């Protein structure tokens, strides 16, 4: 009996000594294995997005682009150059005037991306170039996520890299959730399917489609942005949305600024958009608030807020809740079904406006699949 007791004590003390001397190394090994598996999955995602982008571009390319140089096709080289592109934010040490600089840089980046896509896919229409640019943006995003994760993984495998590996392990679940959303979005964009983020444009189109018309009443007032002037509950209403049916978000802030500059009767700016839901919230649930409901870089929201606040114009918002994945993939039925009720709620808001006042109703979001 004493032999067994001694053996147990020796094993216990030996195990304790091993954990004391090599515990951190063992823990690091388990962390590396887990992160390595997620990194491999992320690599497969970015490779699949790249392949899907190449397949989409091939449909509109010419023979010259599909040729090869030194065993590597021109198309492959162009796509690799596209995936490696980046945007440098303006210096923010002095924040005054940073919004125009940010807008200029983002507009330049957008034009460069579309120009490169048009050069590769020379047979694509403007609408198709918009959609292909969206697919390219997804592939660029996945490629950047993979390179950043790989960077910290390699740092974590070097001597003294334990904390880099721990940080990466903590961040990987959130990063993989975003990556899986991007990965799912590739099929939606490539298939020209209306996105969850298209809720706002769908509401705007529904409002205009109810108006009897003998032709197209949309006018492109600013680049990639359309405005329709209709009557809602006997009030003049300006309906704003990005130009579809290609994947486009337009410049609603600039369009709203232009309307406010020429119509002094506008008393309300109502924005309709998709919004990220919190865990436990129902997809498609509608909420109302005050302010400009518009995401992105903040340039468009700045334009709306600056102009509306200068004239003491009420800013209202209606948003449909959804997850990030639902926002950039095919619109869920529960969200699409909310369009009629949102239109009715907008009619109720317009009905309560003062007499002889106008309203701007902006459907914010991506117009993929929304004419």
- 213 against 235, higher pLDDT: 235
Q: Which residue has the higher pLDDT, 17 or 88?
A: 88
- CA distances (Å), origin 193, targets 189, 321, 367: 6, 19, 10
Contacts of 354 (CB under 8 A, 6+ apart): 267
Confidence of residue 11 (pLDDT cuts 50, 70, 90): low
What distance in Å separates the CA atoms of residue 203 and residue 181, rounded to the nearest whole number? 24
What secondary structure letter does DSSP report for 197? G
Q: Which residue has the higher pLDDT, 19 or 155?
A: 155
Q: What pLDDT, in 10s, does the model give residues 266-281?
A: 999 999 999 999 988 9
pLDDT in tens, 172-197: 888 898 898 888 888 888 788 889 99
What is the rounded distance in angstroms from the CA atom of residue 218 to the CA atom of residue 21?
Answer: 72
Position 24 pLDDT exceeds 80: no
Q: Residue 189: in which H helix or E strand, if any?
A: helix 162-190
All structural domains of the chain, each given as residue ranges with its CATH number in brackets, are: 20-190 (no CATH), 196-363 (3.40.50.1470)
Quote the tokens at residue 339: 């369009």
The H or E element that residue 273 is part of is: strand 266-276
Which pLDDT score is estimated for 206?
A: 92
Residue 70 is predicted with a pLDDT of 44
- Give how far Cα 32 sits from Cα of 27, 153, 160, 164, Å: 9, 8, 14, 11
Q: What is the pLDDT of residues 99-157, one digit of tens each?
A: 889 889 989 998 999 999 998 888 888 888 888 898 899 999 999 999 999 988 888 88
The neighbouring-strand residues paired with 317 are 271, 289
Average pLDDT of the segment spanning 153-169: 80
- Rg of the chain over Cα atoms, rounded to whole angstroms, equals 26
Which pLDDT belongs to residue 69?
45
What's the mean pLDDT in 22-34? 67
Q: What pLDDT was estimated at residue 28? A: 64
Q: What is the mean pLDDT of the chain?
A: 85
H helix or E strand, kind and range, residue 176: helix 162-190
For 45-86, the pLDDT digits (tens) are 999 999 988 888 888 866 555 555 444 578 888 888 888 888
Q: Would the pLDDT of 7 be above 90?
A: no
Point out the least confidently predicted range of 96-100, 106-110, 305-309, 315-319: 96-100
pLDDT reported for residue 85: 87
Mean pLDDT throughout 24-34? 69
Residue 89 in tokens: 């934010």
pLDDT at 1 over 60: no
What b/e sequence results for 289-327 when a residue is b if at least 16 CB atoms lie within 10 Å of its CB, and e otherwise? eeebbbbeeebbbbbbbebbeeeebebbbbbbbbbbbbb
- Give me the pLDDT at residue 36, please: 85
What does the pLDDT average to over 15-25?
Answer: 60
């Amino acid at each position: 009996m004493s032999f067994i007791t001694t053996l147990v004590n020796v094993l216990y003390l030996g195990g304790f000594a091993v954990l004391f001397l090599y515990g951190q190394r063992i823990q690091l090994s388990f962390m590396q294995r887990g992160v390595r598996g997620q990194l491999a999955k992320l690599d497969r995602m970015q490779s699949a997005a790249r392949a899907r982008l190449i397949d989409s571009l091939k449909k509109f390319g010419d023979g010259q682009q599909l040729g090869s140089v030194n065993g590597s096709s021109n198309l492959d080289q162009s796509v690799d150059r596209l995936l490696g592109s980046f945007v440098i934010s303006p210096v923010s040490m002095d924040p005054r005037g940073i919004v125009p600089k940010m807008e200029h840089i983002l507009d330049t980046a957008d034009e460069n991306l579309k120009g490169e896509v048009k050069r590769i896919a020379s047979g694509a229409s403007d609408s198709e170039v918009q959609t292909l640019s969206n697919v390219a943006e997804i592939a660029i995003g996945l490629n950047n996520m993979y390179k950043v994760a790989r960077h910290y993984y390699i740092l974590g495998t070097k001597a003294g890299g334990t904390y880099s590996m721990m940080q990466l392990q903590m961040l990987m679940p959130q990063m993989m959730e975003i990556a899986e959303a991007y990965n799912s979005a590739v099929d939606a964009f490539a298939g020209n399917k209306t996105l969850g983020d298209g809720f706002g444009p769908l509401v705007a189109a529904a409002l205009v489609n109810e108006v009897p018309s003998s032709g197209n009443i949309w006018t492109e007032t600013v680049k990639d942005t359309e405005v329709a002037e209709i009557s809602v509950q006997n009030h003049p209403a300006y309906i704003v949305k990005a130009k579809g049916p290609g994947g486009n978000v337009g410049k609603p802030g600039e369009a709203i600024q232009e309307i406010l500059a020429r119509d002094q009767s506008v008393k309300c700016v109502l924005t309709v958009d998709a919004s990220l839901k919190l865990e436990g919230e129902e997809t498609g649930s509608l909420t109302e608030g005050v302010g400009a409901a518009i995401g992105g870089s903040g340039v468009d929201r700045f334009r709306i807020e600056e102009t509306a606040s200068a004239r003491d114009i009420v800013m209202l918002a209606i948003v449909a809740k959804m997850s990030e994945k639902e926002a950039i993939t095919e619109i869920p039925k529960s969200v699409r079904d909310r369009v009629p009720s949102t239109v009715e709620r907008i009619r109720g808001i317009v009905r309560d406006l003062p007499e002889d006042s106008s309203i701007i109703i902006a459907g914010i979001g991506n117009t993929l699949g929304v004419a």
